[in-house]
Amino acid sequence: MEHVVPALLQVLSPASIAAILIGTVFGTIVGALPGLGSVVAITVILPFTFGMPIVPSVALILAVYCSSIYGGSISAILINTPGTPQAAATNLDGYPMAMEGKASLALGWATAASVFGGVFSTGVLIVAAPQLAAVALKFGPVETFALIALALTCIAGVSRGSTLKGFAAGILGLFLATVGADPMTGDLRFEFGYFPLTAGVGLLPVLIGLFAISEVMVRVFRPHQATPQIVGTVGFKLAPLREWLIRWKSLVKGSVIGSFVGVLPGTGAAVAAFISYAEAKRAGRFRDKLGKGEPEGIVAAESANNAVSGGALVPTLALGIPGDAVTAIMMSALIIQGVQPGVRMFAENPDVIYAAFIVLILANLAIFTVGALGVRYFLYALRMPVPLLLSVVIVLSFLGAYGDRGNEFDLLVAFIAGVVGFFLRINGFPTAPVVIGLVLGRIFEESLRQGLILTDNSFQGFFVGHPIAVALFCVTFAILFLPPLIGSVRRWKGR
C-alpha cells in the first residue's frame, strides 16, 4: 500500500487529469463511429504519448481504451451499428429499445452498467492482480477450448424464433473463420487461388456489413418500417434505482465474467459480452424478454465488456502478455517509455501499476460525466432526415472497413457481408450468430488442435488432469441440455 500515495499524487497532477478528460471525450467519439473502434483510437493517440511523462501517457491511453469500448454501445443503440465488435451484444437489446422510443433510457442503462463493470474490475485488479495472473497461466489450450465452447452456447441464446436458423448462421460464422492461412501450418484454405483471400475474412468488415450496411438495405427495402421514435427532448436518462435493483444479478455477473475473461490472454471484450449475455439469457430475471428491448440484456453486455478493460491489464502488466490488440499497443507504448511490462514489473515499477489502477477508476468516472453531458449530441443523429442518416452510415461503414487493416479488399467484404446480412434478415435468420462464430472460430480451432497435439490426438485426454476444463464443459452441457430436459420433465409431471 505504500505505493498508493505517490501514485495518487502523480495521477492527480493537472497533466494526468487533462489526459483523462481529453482521452475520454476522444475515445467515446471514435468508439461511437462504426468500425473505427478501440485499436484505431489508441493508434491515433499513441504518437502523442511519446513526448509525455509516463503517468499522463498511461492515463491518456487507458482513458481512450475504456471510453472507446463504451462509445461503441452508443451507435449500437442508436443506429443498430455496433461501433466496436465489443458492442455487438449490446445491439441485441439496445436497438429494439431505441425503436420503442426509449433511446435515452437505453443509453442510461449502457453508461451506468459500463461504469459499474469498469470500476468493479479495477477493484478486482487492485486486490488480486498477481494471483489472477497465476490463474491465467493455468489456461492452456485445453482450458481455452472449454471456455470458447461455453461462449459458443450463446448462439442458442441469441437465436430467438428459430434455433435451427441461428445454428446455421453460427456455422456460417465458424466457416468464415477458417478462410485464409491455416493458423497452425500456414497452408491456405478456401482461398480459391485469389490472393486477397489468403489474409482471411476480416472481423470488422463482416461486422460492419452484417449490421450497418444490411440495416441500410432493410430500411430502403421496407421504407415504412419503424424508425427510432424521438419522444420530446431526448437526452441521457437513468432508470430509477428499483429498476436497477431487480437486475443486480446480471450486473454483478457481467462484471465478474468480464473481469475474469479479460484476464485470459487472447479472448477479449466481445467474448466476455457474449458469455455474459448467454448467462443472462439462461438465468436472468427477464430472460424471456431478452432480445426484444430488455434493459437486462444491455446491462449484461455492457458491464461485461467494460469490465474486460481492467482484467486485460492483469496479463499485460504482470506477465507481459497482452490480453488483446489494444493492450498490445499499450504495451509497446510502455516499452518505448522505458517501462518493461512483465513478471518483474510489480517489483520494479509498482508506482506505474498503482497509477494505472487509479487512472482506470477515474477514467470510468469520466465516462459517466461525458456520457451524461455529451450523449444528447449523439441523439441528434437520430433527428437527421432518414436518407441523410443512411448515407452517413454507409460512408462511415466503408471508412471503418478500410481503416482496420488498410486493405482495399475489405471494402468488398463489407459490401458482400451487407448483401448476405440483408438476405439473412429478410428470411428471419439472426445475424449475431455469424459474428459470434467468426469472433470465436479461430481461437476455437487453434486451442482444439493444440490440445489434441498435447494429448496425442485423444479427446479423453481433455478430461484427465484438466479440472478447470472439466468444470467448464459441465457448465456448457448444463446450459445446452438442462432447459429442454427440465421442460420435458415438467410436461411429463403435468400429465
In angstroms, the CA 28 to CA 143 distance is 34
Which residue of 2, 14, 192, 195 would you call a contact of other proteins, by CB under 8 A?
Answer: 195
- Neighbouring CB atoms inside 10 A of 184's CB total 11
> Which of these, 366, 371, 357, lies nearest to 309 by C-alpha position?
357
User: Closest approach of Cβ 174 to other proteins, in Å?
Assistant: 17
Which residue of 118, 200, 262, 441 would you call a contact of other proteins, by CB under 8 A?
Answer: 200
Which residue of 109, 139, 354, 398 would you call a contact of other proteins, by CB under 8 A?
Answer: 139
Interface with other proteins includes 31 (CB under 8 A)? no
User: Closest approach of Cβ 181 to other proteins, in Å?
Assistant: 5
> Which of these, 443, 480, 477, 457, lies nearest to 144 by C-alpha position?
443
Residues in contact with other proteins, shown as a per-residue x/- string from 435 to 474 under the rule CB under 8 A: -------x---x---x--xx--------------------
- Neighbouring CB atoms inside 10 A of 327's CB total 26
Interface with other proteins includes 266 (CB under 8 A)? yes
**Placement of cell 466496436 in the chain:** 84
Interface with other proteins includes 186 (CB under 8 A)? yes
Q: Convert 244-273 to b/e letters by CB count within 10 Å (16 or more is b).
A: beebebbbebbbbbbbbbbbbbbbbbbbbb
> Which of these, 245, 261, 266, lies nearest to 325 by C-alpha position?
266
- Neighbouring CB atoms inside 10 A of 8's CB total 13
User: Closest approach of Cβ 140 to other proteins, in Å?
Assistant: 4
In angstroms, the CA 201 to CA 181 distance is 10
How many angstroms from the chain centroid is the CA of residue 433?
Answer: 14
User: Closest approach of Cβ 422 to other proteins, in Å?
Assistant: 26
User: Closest approach of Cβ 426 to other proteins, in Å?
Assistant: 32
String of DSSP letters for 423-472:
HHHHTT--SHHHHHHHHHHHHHHHHHHHHHHHTTS-SGGGTSS-HHHHHH
Of the two residues 107 and 333, which places its CB atom closer to other proteins in the complex? 333
Interface with other proteins includes 315 (CB under 8 A)? yes
Residues in contact with other proteins, shown as a per-residue x/- string from 38 to 67 under the rule CB under 8 A: -x---x--xx--------------------
The number of residues that bind other proteins (CB under 8 A) is 53
Interface with other proteins includes 328 (CB under 8 A)? yes
Which residue of 344, 384, 391, 477 would you call a contact of other proteins, by CB under 8 A?
Answer: 344
User: Closest approach of Cβ 405 to other proteins, in Å?
Assistant: 5
Q: In 80-189, where does DSSP find H-type helix? A: 88-99, 103-138, 141-152, 154-158, 163-178
In angstroms, the CA 226 to CA 228 distance is 7
Under 8 Å between Cβ of 74 and 378:
yes
Under 8 Å between Cβ of 275 and 154:
yes
Interface with other proteins includes 178 (CB under 8 A)? no
User: Closest approach of Cβ 337 to other proteins, in Å?
Assistant: 9
Which residue of 196, 235, 350, 374 would you call a contact of other proteins, by CB under 8 A?
Answer: 196
Which residue of 178, 227, 340, 369 would you call a contact of other proteins, by CB under 8 A?
Answer: 340
Interface with other proteins includes 235 (CB under 8 A)? no
Which residue of 82, 157, 180, 284 would you call a contact of other proteins, by CB under 8 A?
Answer: 180
Give, as ranges, the residues between 79 and 138 that touch other proteins (CB under 8 A): 136-138
Interface with other proteins includes 189 (CB under 8 A)? no
User: Which whole-number Å values give the CA distances from 443 to 145, 184, 324, 438, 446, in the listed order?
Assistant: 8, 11, 13, 10, 5
Interface with other proteins includes 192 (CB under 8 A)? no
Give, as ranges, the residues between 398 and 437 that touch other proteins (CB under 8 A): 405-407
Of the two residues 178 and 450, which places its CB atom closer to other proteins in the complex? 450
Q: Quick one: which H or E segment has residue 401? A: helix 386-405
Length of the chain: 495
Of the two residues 138 and 222, which places its CB atom closer to other proteins in the complex? 138
Which residues of this chain interact with other proteins, rule CB under 8 A? 39, 43, 46-47, 136-141, 180-181, 183-188, 193, 195-196, 198-200, 202, 265-266, 315, 319-322, 325, 328-329, 331-332, 335-336, 338, 340-344, 405-407, 442, 446, 450, 453-454
